[in-house]
Structure 1
Amino acid sequence: MNTYLKKFKGQNEQLVPKSTISEIIFAFIGSFIAIGIIGYCTKTYDNLLIMGSFGASCVLLFGFPKSPFSQPRNVILGHFISSLTGLFFLHIVGNDYISMALALATAISLMIATRTVHPPAGSNPIIIFLLGASWDYLIFPTLIGSIILVIVSLFYNNLHKNRSYPEYWY
């Protein structure tokens, strides 16, 4: 028990390196552009293209674009798998807290198994249950919105002289 509790103290690892003000501003502008475009498209085309987890996706895409969690396959497939799982459990298994918990756990497991982990996508099953979303939520906003995020990230991140995005596609 004592060994177990000692783990709570942490491993004394170093904090992530401090970001420069220019990196912070670059992430701010990229996130603003990405969510601005998705918001504009949502309003203009009267079709839902945004969901709460996209804000957290922007943290990764524009703040930490080299992270494995920020790569296009992880963003797009992570959101897709997680939303599909949430929709399956909501509409096939049922709308209760056990079904929601199973949807979340299954989505996480599927992302890990398929090597498409995108932590923000972990919230998609919960969002879907809270909204009582229909099956079209898989396309609008999940798939189209995540593709827009990646496209903006491709163009924007590569404007930076010290960035090359993505690290990989497959």
Structure 2
Amino acid sequence: MLTYLRKLRGAASALPPRATPRQMALAWLGGALAMACVANVGEQLPSGLLLGSFGASCVLVFGYPDLPFSQPRNVIVGHLLSSLVGLLLLHGVGPQWWSLSLAVGSAIALMMLTRSVHPPAGSNPVIIFLAQPSWDFLLFPTLFGALLLVVVALLYNNGTRSTRYPQYW
């Protein structure tokens, strides 16, 4: 028990280095532009495109675009799988606390299995259980919104950085 409690102190590692002012400004602008695109295009559609987890996706794709979690494959497949699992359990079992927990756990496992982990997508089942949408939620906002976010990230990150985005598909 004492060994376990000692683990709670952490590893005493140093904080990661602070981003440069340029990196912060580019991440800020990229996130703002991406959400402006998603929100504006969504206003033209009957169902909209806003999904709370897209804000967290912007943190990754614009703030840390070289991480595996930030790659287009992870963004698109992660959001799609997580929303699919959430919808399957919501409509197949019902809005129970335990079906929500199974949906989140299953989404994590499926993203890991498919090598498409995108942490913000882990909140999609929670969003789905709260909103209780129909099956079209899988296409709008999930798939179409994730695709639009990736398109903006591809254009923006390659236009503002010297390195390539994505690292892989």
**TM-score normalised by the shorter chain: which range applies?**
over 0.9
Quote the residue 1:118 is aligned against: 118
Taking the TM superposition and a 5 Å limit, the aligned residue runs for 1:78-93 are: 78-93=78-93
TM-score, L = length of structure 1: 0.96
Q: Aligned residue pairs: how many?
A: 169
SS at match of 2:8: helix
Deviations 1:75-123 (A, max 9, x none): 0000000000000000001111111111111111111111110000000
Cα offset for 1:154?
0.3
Cα separation, 2, equivalents of 1:10 and 1:130: 34
SS at match of 2:76: helix
Quote the residue 1:41 is aligned against: 41
Cα offset for 1:145?
0.3
Cα offset for 1:156?
0.1
Cα separation, 2, equivalents of 1:2 and 1:40: 54
Cα offset for 1:161?
3.6
Quote the residue 2:130 is aligned against: 130
CA 161–118 in structure 1, closer or farther in 2 if over 3 Å, else same: closer
Cα separation, 1, equivalents of 2:98 and 2:134: 19
Cα offset for 1:44?
2.0
Cα separation, 1, equivalents of 2:48 and 2:136: 10
Cα separation, 2, equivalents of 1:133 and 1:45: 16
Quote the residue 2:12 is aligned against: 12
Q: Residue type matched to 1:32 in 2?
A: A
- Listed as ranges, the gaps of 5+ residues in structure 1 are none
Quote the residue 2:143 is aligned against: 143
Q: Residue type matched to 1:151 in 2?
A: V
Q: Residue type matched to 2:81 in 1?
A: I
Q: Residue type matched to 1:62 in 2?
A: F
Structure 1 runs (4+) deviating above 4 angstroms are none
Taking the TM superposition and a 5 Å limit, the aligned residue runs for 1:13-32 are: 13-32=13-32
Taking the TM superposition and a 5 Å limit, the aligned residue runs for 1:55-66 are: 55-66=55-66
Greater Cα shift, 159-168 or 67-76: 159-168
Cα offset for 1:162?
2.9
TM-score, L = length of structure 2: 0.97
Greater Cα shift, 122-131 or 157-166: 157-166
Cα separation, 1, equivalents of 2:111 and 2:43: 31
Greater Cα shift, 2-11 or 72-81: 2-11
Cα separation, 1, equivalents of 2:163 and 2:62: 10
Cα offset for 1:68?
0.4
Cα separation, 1, equivalents of 2:79 and 2:54: 9
Aligned-residue Cα RMSD (Å) equals 0.9
